[in-house]
C-alpha cells in the first residue's frame, strides 16, 4: 500500500511510532471523497486560486506549537520560530499570536517578523554573515540577542554597537563537532562545517569579548543540523553546552541563556526513522541543562510548519516511458526544490479519495522545467494519474515556498492559509507583467 499514512488512520494504532504520528498529526484528510485542508475542499481551492498552490493549515500550525510549548512547560524556555522555514506573513502572524518569538537570519527576515507583530525582545538574529548594516538595523529595533559565529563578527558587532552608543547582547555559536546524522547539506555541527567557532576556542573568545566595547555576551548558541531523527547527537551537544557553561562561569562570565537551536525532525513517510517526540526532547533538555538556571531558547522551524503545508498541483499529461510512466504536473523544481536538492522524499496523495484506492503503477512525478533534475517524486508506486487530476505533495510547509524561484520564468505560486471552513490567499500569484517588470532595460537598449 502506498497510502498508509492518511492522518485519520494512525489514531487507532499504538506504539511509539503511532504516538508520534498522532502528535504530529495534521489536518489534511479526506472528506466526502476529496482531500480537504481542515474544512476546505482542495478542488474548490484549486478552482478558486488555480494550480499549483501552497496550502497551509492553521490548526496544524497551532497544534505543533502547542505540543512543543507544553513539552517545555515548567522550564524557562522561549520558542523562537525559525523564520527561514516559512516566512509568509500569515504564518508568522499565526505564530506571533501564540506567543512565539522568532529566529531570523537576515534584515529581511527581521523586518518580516516585526511586520507580523513579533516583539523585538523575542527576536534572535543568527547567521554566519551578518553585515554591519544589518547589525545596526537590528540594534535600532532592540532585538533580544545576536548569535555571533566568528571572532571578526564579534569585533564588527562591538564596533557597530559602540558607534551607536548601545550594548548588543550576544551569544557565541559554538561548533561542537557532533554528527547530527542528517543529510550532508543540512548538517551544521561538524568541525568541517562553516558554522560557529571551534569548541576549544570558545573560552578565549569569551575572554576577548569582555575586553570589547558595546557587548554583553551572556549566552551560548548551538545548532547541529536539521531533520534530526535521533536524540543522541542532541544529548552530546547539550552536554558540551553544559560543560562550557560551567567552564565559562568558572572564568567569571555570566551565562544567562542557552540557545539550543532547532533541528527536530518530522516524519516524511512511514518508512522514515521516527523523530524524537517533543516530550523526550524537552526531557533531555531538562536532564542536561535544567539545573543551570539559564533561560533556554529554541529555534524550531520544520517541526512546527513541515506538515502544516502541502503543495497542490494538477496533472498536465501522463506519458508512457520505457518501463515507467511519467506524470507531468504543473508544479516543478522551482516551486519545491527539496527532492532535487536533498533527495528529499515527499508523499504524494491523490486529491480524489477514489484514486487512492486504484492499483498503483510505477512512475516519476515531474514538472515542466527543462532539467532531468526537475522532479517531485521518483520511481513511486502511485495511482495512474491522468490529465487534469489534482495531487497533493505532502509535508511541504517547511523550506517549500521559501526556497522557490522563478526559474524558467515561472511565477511564484500562491500561498493559501486555511482556518476551519475559511481560507485566504496569503500570497497572490504574481502576474507575468509583475515578473518581467522587475527587469530594466539599460538606456542603450531602451525602445523609447
Ligand atoms: N536555527 C538555525 C541556526 C538554523 O540554521 C536552522 C536551520 C534552524 C534553527 C531551524 O532548523 P529546523 O528546526 O527547521 O530543522 N532547506 C533545508 C533545511 C535547512 C535548515 C537550515 N537551518 C531543507 O529543506 O531540508
Each residue's pLDDT tens digit, 391-429 = 999 999 999 999 999 999 999 999 999 999 999 999 999
> What's the pLDDT tens digit per position in 65-78?
999 999 999 999 99
The answer to whether residue 240 scores a pLDDT higher than 90 is yes
Claim to verify: residue 197 and residue 274 sit in the same structural domain: yes
Indicate if 80 belongs to the active site.
no
Supply the DSSP symbol for 11: G
SS3 432: helix
* Domain containing residue 335: 1-57+303-448
Distance 10 CA to ligand 1 centre (A): 27
Task: Answer with the one of 298, 318, 337 that is the final residue of a domain.
Answer: 298
pLDDT of residue 10: 33
- Euclidean distance between CA atoms 348 and 160, whole angstroms: 49
Q: Closest Cα partner for 190 from 201, 200, 180, 202?
A: 180
| For helices 231-250 and 278-289, angle between their N-to-C axes, nearest 10 degrees | 20
Categorize the per-residue pLDDT at 18 as very low, low, confident or very high, splitting at 50, 70 and 90.
low
> What's the pLDDT tens digit per position in 137-185?
999 999 999 999 999 999 999 999 999 999 999 999 999 888 877 888 7
- Euclidean distance between CA atoms 296 and 108, whole angstroms: 25
- Hey, which of 67, 171, 301 would you mutate to test ligand 1's pocket, going by the most ligand atoms within 8 Å of its Cβ? 301
Distance 388 CA to ligand 1 centre (A): 35
Residues with CB under 6 A from ligand 1: 82, 84-85, 103, 126, 186, 188, 223, 226-227, 261-264, 299-303, 338, 342, 398-399
- Euclidean distance between CA atoms 142 and 196, whole angstroms: 23
pLDDT of residue 9: 33
Residue with the nearest Cα to atom 7 of ligand 1?
Answer: 226
In a domain, 82, yes or no: no
E strand or H helix at 36: strand 34-37
In a domain, 232, yes or no: yes
Atom of ligand 1 at shortest distance to CA of 300? 13
In a domain, 45, yes or no: yes
C-alpha separations of 113 from 38, 79, 84, 103, 312 in Å: 26, 14, 11, 9, 27
Residue with the nearest Cα to atom 23 of ligand 1?
Answer: 399
Question: Residues 379-414, buried b or exposed e (16+ Cβ, 10 A)?
Answer: ebebbebeeebbbbbbbbbbbbbbebeeeeebebbb
Claim to verify: residue 199 and residue 325 sit in the same structural domain: no
Phi, psi of 198, deg, nearest 5: -60, 140
Count the domains in the chain. 2
Claim to verify: residue 315 and residue 274 sit in the same structural domain: no
Residue with the nearest Cα to atom 9 of ligand 1?
Answer: 262
Claim to verify: residue 314 and residue 419 sit in the same structural domain: yes
Claim to verify: residue 388 and residue 255 sit in the same structural domain: no
The answer to whether residue 131 scores a pLDDT higher than 60 is yes
Average pLDDT over residues 285-294: 98
What is the residue-averaged pLDDT of the chain?
93
Atom of ligand 1 at shortest distance to CA of 183? 25
Distance 173 CA to ligand 1 centre (A): 15
Q: What is the pTM for the complete model shown?
A: 0.94
In a domain, 19, yes or no: yes
Amino acid at each position: 500500500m502506498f497510502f498508509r499514512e492518511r492522518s485519520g488512520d494512525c489514531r487507532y494504532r499504538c506504539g511509539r511510532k503511532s504516538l508520534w504520528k498522532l502528535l504530529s498529526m495534521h489536518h489534511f484528510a479526506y472528506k466526502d471523497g476529496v482531500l480537504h485542508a481542515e474544512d476546505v475542499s482542495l478542488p474548490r481551492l484549486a478552482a478558486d486560486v488555480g494550480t499549483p498552490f501552497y496550502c497551509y493549515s492553521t490548526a496544524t500550525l497551532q497544534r505543533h506549537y502547542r505540543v512543543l510549548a507544553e513539552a517545555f512547560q515548567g522550564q524557562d524556555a522561549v520558542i523562537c520560530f525559525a523564520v527561514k522555514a516559512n516566512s509568509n506573513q500569515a504564518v508568522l502572524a499565526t505564530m506571533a499570536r501564540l506567543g512565539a518569538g522568532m529566529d531570523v537570519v537576515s534584515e529581511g527576515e527581521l523586518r518580516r517578523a516585526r511586520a507580523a507583530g513579533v516583539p523585538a525582545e523575542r527576536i534572535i538574529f543568527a547567521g554566519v554573515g551578518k553585515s554591519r548594516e544589518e547589525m545596526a538595523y537590528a540594534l535600532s529595533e532592540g532585538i533580544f540577542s545576536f548569535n555571533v559565529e566568528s571572532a571578526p563578527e564579534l569585533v564588527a558587532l562591538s564596533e557597530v554597537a559602540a558607534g551607536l552608543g548601545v550594548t548588543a547582547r550576544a551569544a557565541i555559536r559554538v561548533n561542537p563537532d557532533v554528527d547530527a546524522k542528517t543529510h550532508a547539506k543540512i548538517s551544521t555541527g561538524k568541525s568541517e562545517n562553516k558554522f560557529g567557532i571551534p569548541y576549544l576556542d570558545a573560552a578565549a573568545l569569551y575572554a576577548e569579548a569582555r575586553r570589547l566595547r558595546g557587548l554583553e555576551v551572556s549566552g551560548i548558541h548551538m545548532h547541529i543540523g536539521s531533520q534530526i531523527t535521533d536524540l543522541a547527537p542532541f544529548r552530546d551537544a547539550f552536554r558540551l553546552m553544559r560543560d562550557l557553561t560551567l567552564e565559562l562561569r568558572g572564568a567569571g562570565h555570566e551565562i544567562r541563556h542557552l540557545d539550543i537551536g532547532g533541528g527536530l525532525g518530522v516524519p516524511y513517510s512511514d518508512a522514515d526513522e521516527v523523530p524524537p517526540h517533543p516530550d523526550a526532547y524537552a526531557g533531555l533538555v531538562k536532564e542536561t541543562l535544567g539545573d543551570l538556571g539559564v533561560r533556554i531558547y529554541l529555534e524550531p522551524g520544520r517541526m512546527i510548519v513541515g506538515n502544516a503545508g502541502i503543495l497542490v498541483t494538477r496533472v498536465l499529461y501522463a506519458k508512457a516511458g520505457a518501463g515507467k510512466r511519467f506524470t507531468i504536473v504543473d508544479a516543478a523544481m522551482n516551486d519545491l526544490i527539496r527532492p532535487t536538492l536533498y533527495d528529499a522524499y515527499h508523499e504524494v496523495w491523490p486529491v480524489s479519495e477514489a484514486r487512492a484506492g486504484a492499483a498503483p503503477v510505477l512512475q516519476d512525478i515531474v514538472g515542466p522545467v527543462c532539467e532531468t533534475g526537475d522532479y517531485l517524486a521518483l520511481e513511486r508506486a502511485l495511482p495512474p494519474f491522468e490529465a487534469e487530476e489534482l495531487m497533493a505533495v505532502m509535508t511541504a510547509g517547511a523550506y517549500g515556498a521559501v526556497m522557490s524561484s522563478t526559474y524558467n520564468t515561472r511565477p511564484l505560486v500562491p500561498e493559501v492559509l486555511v482556518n476551519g471552513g475559511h481560507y485566504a490567499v496569503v500570497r497572490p500569484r504574481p502576474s507575468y507583467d509583475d515578473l518581467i517588470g522587475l527587469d530594466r532595460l539599460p538606456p542603450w537598449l531602451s525602445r523609447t
